[in-house]
Amino acid sequence: MPMLLNCDKKGCRSYDEHVLDIATNEVRCIKCNEIIPNISHFTKQQLKSLKQTKKSAKSAYAVRCGKCKVETLPKLDAANKLVCGSCGDVNINVSKIFEPLIRDAIKNGNKDIV
């Protein structure tokens, strides 16, 4: 059974199954995405054990950087080479077959196929 919490923001005030953002260790409202203050450590641990956590949105073409260990969509630098989207490291491991797909995703954006 999920844990229900109150959002205390003036425009929202929802009583719902709010989620724990594991990266920042803060509870966020699922309606307005604002931080809900004054949540105890015990409640945060309960949310984590109930798997009531915020899911991160990953790109289909995300590549894990060997230097910073962050998985993001690479960027193109001034020399038109792929670099890490987080730290800018040039030594990312991308296969030759996968590279044109990543370049296309960077240029056209991550659009869903319709």
For the chain, give every domain's residue range.
5-49, 63-108
> Of 55, 61, 64, which is closest to residue 86 (Cα–Cα)?
64
Q: Are 6 and 17 in contact (CB under 8 A)?
A: no
Q: Which amino acid is at 21?
A: D
Residue 104 to residues 65, 67, 97, 100, 108, Cα–Cα distance (Å): 19, 24, 12, 6, 6
pLDDT at 43: 92
- pLDDT tens sequence across 80-107: 889 988 888 888 888 899 899 888 888 8
Q: Taking all residues of the chain, what is their mean pLDDT, rounded to a whole number?
A: 85
